Structure 1
Amino acid sequence: MLKRHIAPFSLVLVVLSLLFAGCGSATSSTASSGTTCTGKTPAGVTTLTAWFSGGLDDLDALKAVIDSFNGSQSAVQIKEVTIPAATFGDQVKAAAASGTLPDILYLDGPNLYNYAWNKSLRALDSCIAPDVKADLLPSIVNQGTYNGKLYGVGSLDSGLALFTRKSILKAN
């Protein structure tokens, strides 16, 4: 089960890490400042903070991807912060209100629109190369887009379906 989830999380974390590392000023040691991405990391180590909810079923997979990413190079390091599920939403709201959201935020897609609307998130359009964006599922791009700008890249898409026998439907 863990290996099945590593590929999607790897792609998203690597893309987000590289794009946020190229944001902000050349002298910053974190990626929190700036509004566009240059694609270049500042000299030294750039540390990105990523917040995750403690209630995620895939938390072990996320941590494995972060450890793998951090071990694969030294220019960009991700600092993972796990917040208890019961308080995650409140902490994200408080951080958004105070302008202290982390560099990477793992949140449910529908919540993205409010944070984009109140300008708590940075648009990612200048950060993702067109060929990378073209490789994303249209549903992932659509879910992460608000007012024509891309604010989030989901790690997975949930497909919902109902399978049953016709006889059960007719009986009920």
Structure 2
Amino acid sequence: MQIRDRIKELRRVRASELVPNPWNWRTHPVPQRNAMRGILAEVGFADALLARELPDGRLEIIDGHLRAETTPDALVPVLVLDVDEDEARKILLTHDPLTSLAEFDDEQLHDLIEACQFKNPQLTAMVAQLEAEIEQATQDLAAPTERPEPPIPTAYQVVVECDSETQQQEVYEQMHGQGFRCRVVTL
């Protein structure tokens, strides 16, 4: 399979000059915004925003809306992609969901959490919540699942064994004619 390199260049652009993508479907709740501010304060930019160049020369964000909103006066790293509007929409739709499909190694994650100490309380809270969710998921998977027996309604039935399909049809018609609810079953 031939894979194209769609990155044209890396630019440093004032975040407020970037154009938000009208197709952006992600929303950013307050805890995420706080955690983003925290990691930017503790570490800084460690990833580039993705954008495409519009016909008028402006850059439209594909990925990184929250980073741009959080630091409007900062010069942010932007990977300018050689993609058209349709391709940009495909990236916008799949970029984060593809990342969320990754699985994790419980032990490796626990070791990583233990090795990281944050100054920012929002980051500390985010990691604590992550650890609690993983612990709960692990407990849920380990817990035996008891399924209650479904209630079986009381029903009074008669099974009549017939010698042939013709006899079965005759018995069915006779019983149905007398007002009984009948079903034809062949075993």
Output the TM-score relative to the length of structure 1. Answer: 0.29
Output the TM-score relative to the length of structure 2. Answer: 0.28
Q: Radius of gyration: which is bigger?
A: 2
